[in-house]
Structure 1
Amino acid sequence: MFEGQLVGVKDQGWCGASWVFSALSVAQNRLGHSGSAKGHCDTYTHTSTHLDTNTHAKTPPSDFKETLNHSHKCLLAAYRLVMESNGVYRVSFSAQDLLSCGSLGVNGCLGGHLDRAWHYLRMTGALPEVCYPYRSGFTRKLPTCAKNSGLGCQSRYKSGPAYRLPSKERYIQREIITNGPVQALMTVHPDFFLYKTGVYSYSELGSPHSAAHSVKLLGWGEERVNGKTVKYWVNVNSWGKYWGEAGYFRLLRGSNECGIESHVFTAKPQCESLYHGLEMEC
C-alpha cells in the first residue's frame, strides 16, 4: 500500500554516522509530510508501519483524535502522515555534506552529537545527495568539503530549531501522528547486531559492552506472542536493507527498552525556505 513512499534505507558503512543518517532521514520525511498537497485527507486507520507484518496498532489514547482535530483540518493515517509527499520534494539529503562541511567539532567517523546535526540543518541546511554522494562508509575517512555548483546544488533545505520530547510513550506517539517521525538515541548491545526479525529486547547474553546509536522512530504496533500482547516501536536503522527486517526493526515499546524513549529529538521544516513560491502547507 505504501510502496515507494519511504525514503530508502541507508547504509552508513564503516563510519560512525548514525547521528547524521537518522537526522537527515527524519528531516526528509518531515519535509515530505509538510509538502503534502492542500486538501488531501484521510482517516486514522492504524499505526503499524512495518510493511511485512499483519499486526495492527493499538487504538491511540481516547483524546488523540479530539486533540488533533482542534489543530488540524484532517487526521492522516500515521504511515501517510510520516512518509507521504505526493511527489513533492522526495529528495534524499547528503550525509557527506554534513559530515565533511559541518565543521562542528565532530570526531570524523568515530561518532558525533545529535544536536550538532540539527544545528547544521537549521543554520546551513542540507544538500541533495546527488550534489555530494556518500563516500565515508567505504573509506572510514572524511573527504575535504567539496562545493558543487551543479544544477539544484545551490538550494538548501533547512529545518527549524530542534526540540526534545518528554520521555513518555504517549507524547512520542502524539508527535509522530501530528508532525511525522522522530530521531531516537538507543543503547546497542552485541546481540542487536544479530537481529533478523521480531520484537527485539536485550537478551543480557554475551558481552556486556554497549554503544550509543541513533535511529529513526516512525511508528508503532502490537502483536500476540505466546498468548500475550507485545507492544513495539517501528524503527529504521542505517545498516542497509539486508540487516533486520529489510533495514527496519521492531523494539519493545513502553518500557524504555535500550533507552529508546529517553532521548527523542526532532524539528519542523523551515517552510519559507523550501517551497519557492509553491502554495504548500507546512
Structure 2
Amino acid sequence: RTPTNLLLGSLAIMMSVMKTFIAVMAFSPLTWADEKIMPGHTVLEDYNHPLPHTYIKKESLPSSFTWGDVNGTSYLTKMLNQHIPQYCGSCFAHAALSSLADRIKIAQHGEGGDDINLSVQFVLNCGHSIAGSCHGGSSTGVYEFIKKHGYIPYDTCQPYIACSSNSEEGFCSNVDTACTPQNICRTCTRTGGCVEITEFPNATVAEYGSYHNDSHAMMAEIYARGPIKASVNATHLKDYKGGIISDPSLRTTKHNHGVSIVGWGTDEESGSKYWIVRNSWGQYWGEMGYFRVRLGDNILAIETNAAWATPGSYTTLNFPCAEDGKNCRYETKPYMDPSLDIETVQRRLKA
C-alpha cells in the first residue's frame, strides 16, 4: 500500500472511532435526566402582559412559519453542542438561552451585527441552586435565576466548558466553577493568570411563563415573540436521521430533555403539521442539528411542558462604530415586547 493509502486508511479509522465516541457521549444514559425542577426554583411564572394566544386566533396563523426563514432572513442564533468538551446534561440551559437570544436577534430585526449568545456556563457556575447543573435542571429555573440575579453575560465573557460544581467528567474535577467575579466575566493574560471584568455586555429577563398541552398557545407565542423552549422524551431521538417523527406509539407525557421550537411546517403529502425543533447535540446530528415532530399529538411529549421568556434589556454590540466613535461603548437597549403592539402582530397575520 502507498503512504497515501495508509494515511487515508488511518484517517477513516480515526473518523469511525470519533463518530462512535460522539454517539456514546450524546446518548449516554445520563442524558435522560437532563430536565428536573431544582429545590430553589419556586416562581414558575412571572408575567403581566397579555399572552399572544389571547389575541391571535388559531385559524389565523399561517400553515407554515419558522424564524429560520422569514422572507429569506434567519433570526436564529448559532447551533450548539452541550456535550463538548465533555458530557454535560445542560440541555435545559441551552434550550432556555438559545430561545432568549433568538428573541434579542428578532428585536434587532436581524441588523444588530454579530449574534448575541448568552453564557450557559454562567448559569452552571452561579445558578445551580435554582436553575440546575450538568446533572439536569429547569428552563423556567434559568429564567427565574436571571431575573433574580439581575443579568446574564454574553458567552464571550464566560465561554462554555461543560462543567459544574458537581460534575467529574473530563477535566471538570480540576477546574473552578464557583460563582466568583472571575467566573462571571473574565479575560486571561500571557502569563497564564486571569482577571475579572467589571463592565461587560449582558441581557436581562423581564417576564417568563409556561404552556402545558396547548399547541395553539405555543404557536401563537412563537409567531408573535420568537422561539420557545420545549420538553421532550429523548429516548427515541438517538436513532433519528431525518424526517417527521409521527409514530402514535411515541405519544407520551414523560419528558427528560430540553429543546427549542423555532417554528412549524405542513407536510405536503399528508397535510399534517409538524414542529421544527432545534436540539443542542451539534450539527452532525439529525437534520443539521434540528428535528421535526408531528404537531398536536404530543409525540415525544413535546406539548407537555413549554416555556418562554421575554428580555428586559440587552447590550447592543454597536458594530460597526460610528465615525466619531461615540457608540463604540456599551449601550443598553430596552426590549420592546410585541405583546404591547397587538395591532402590528395582527397586521403581519393579514399580510
TM-score by length of 1: 0.71
- Paired with 1:107 and 1:159, the residues of 2 have a C-alpha distance of 18
> Which of 138, 148, 156 is residue 113 of structure 1 equivalent to?
138
Identity %: 25
- Paired with 1:246 and 1:201, the residues of 2 have a C-alpha distance of 19
Residue 212 (1) aligns with residue 238 (2): no
Question: Greater relative contact order (Cα 8 A, min sep 6): structure 1 or 2?
Answer: 1
Unaligned residue ranges in structure 2 (runs of 5+): 1-68, 164-168, 188-196, 317-330, 338-351
Query: Which amino acid is the alignment partner of residue 139 of structure 1?
Result: G
Shift of 1:247: 0.4
- Paired with 1:117 and 1:140, the residues of 2 have a C-alpha distance of 25
Q: Secondary structure at the match of 2:263?
A: strand
Correspondence list, 1:1-282, <5 A: 2=72, 5-13=75-83, 14-36=87-109, 85-88=110-113, 90-104=115-129, 108-124=133-149, 125-136=151-162, 139=170, 141=172, 143-145=176-178, 146-150=183-187, 154-189=200-235, 191-202=236-247, 212-225=256-269, 228-271=270-313, 274=315, 276=331, 281-282=336-337
Shift of 1:105: 5.3
Q: Secondary structure at the match of 2:283?
A: coil
Residue-by-residue CA offset, 1:133-189 (whole Å, 9 max, x unaligned) = 111177374742314345795332111231112522211111111111111011122
Shift of 1:123: 2.3
Residue-by-residue CA offset, 1:9-52 (whole Å, 9 max, x unaligned) = 1000011000000011011011111223xxxxxxxxxxxxxxxx
Kept after mapping to 1: 8 A contact 2:208/2:307:
yes
Q: Secondary structure at the match of 1:255?
A: coil
Kept after mapping to 1: 8 A contact 2:82/2:91:
yes
Kept after mapping to 1: 8 A contact 2:75/2:105:
no
Kept after mapping to 1: 8 A contact 2:75/2:102:
no
Query: Which amino acid is the alignment partner of residue 279 of structure 2?
Result: N
Which structure's CA Rg is the greater one? 2
Q: Secondary structure at the match of 1:86?
A: coil
Residue-by-residue CA offset, 1:73-119 (whole Å, 9 max, x unaligned) = xxxxxxxxxxxx21257211111111112142566321112221111
Query: Which amino acid is the alignment partner of residue 107 of structure 2?
Result: S
Query: Which amino acid is the alignment partner of residue 291 of structure 2?
Result: F
Q: Secondary structure at the match of 1:243?
A: coil
Kept after mapping to 1: 8 A contact 2:77/2:102:
yes
Shift of 1:215: 0.4
Residue-by-residue CA offset, 1:218-252 (whole Å, 9 max, x unaligned) = 10001134xx2232100100000100000011011
Unaligned residue ranges in structure 1 (runs of 5+): 37-84
Deviates more, 1:244-253 or 1:125-134: 125-134
- Paired with 1:108 and 1:28, the residues of 2 have a C-alpha distance of 20
TM-score by length of 2: 0.58
Kept after mapping to 2: 8 A contact 1:186/1:259:
yes
Q: Secondary structure at the match of 1:119?
A: helix
Q: 1:256 to 1:4 in 2, by over 3 A?
A: closer
Q: Counterpart of 2:328?
A: none
Kept after mapping to 2: 8 A contact 1:32/1:88:
no
Deviates more, 1:11-20 or 1:169-178: 169-178
Residue-by-residue CA offset, 1:167-214 (whole Å, 9 max, x unaligned) = 22211111111111111011122x311111100135859xxxx86001
Q: 1:127 to 1:153 in 2, by over 3 A?
A: farther
- Paired with 1:195 and 1:112, the residues of 2 have a C-alpha distance of 24
